[in-house]
Amino acid sequence: MVKVLVVDDSPSEMARFREILGKNDFEIIEASNGEQGCQLAEEHLPDVVLMDVVMPEMNGFQATRKITRGKQTSHIPVVIISTKNQETDRVWGKRQGAKDYLTKPVDEKELMQVIQSVMTA
């Protein structure tokens, strides 16, 4: 079973990810902030990380950088999913190590395609 770590501080967004990923037979690990996301990435070594950007304490850009540059976690693809939809946000996200960048609200079909593509890349 594919393990997906979802890092998002919004309960409604987390519920949406739970619905989409559960329906598609993914195992879901949940973190409500960037720091917790980094810890869970090291503990569980998920197959992919879905990362929000705007969160308290450590934001998604910082957490993405920490995961993609970490010794144990650098192989894990990170997909940023955010309401921030400026081209500069996308470029910055990719410079932090994100494999892809989607904007909210996320489309289920697009999310499934992106998860498949980053896992096989």
pLDDT tens by residue, 41-58: 999 999 999 999 999 889
Q: Tell me the C-alpha distance between 10 and 13, whole Å.
A: 5
Domains in the chain, please, with CATH? Answer: 3-120 (3.40.50.2300)
84: confidence class by pLDDT, cuts 50, 70, 90? very high
Q: Is the pLDDT of residue 70 over 80?
A: yes
Q: Tell me the C-alpha distance between 90 and 84, whole Å.
A: 8
14: confidence class by pLDDT, cuts 50, 70, 90? very high
Q: Is the pLDDT of residue 102 over 90?
A: yes
Confidence at residue 57, expressed as pLDDT on a 0 to 100 scale: 87
H or E element in which residue 116 lies: helix 108-120
21: confidence class by pLDDT, cuts 50, 70, 90? very high
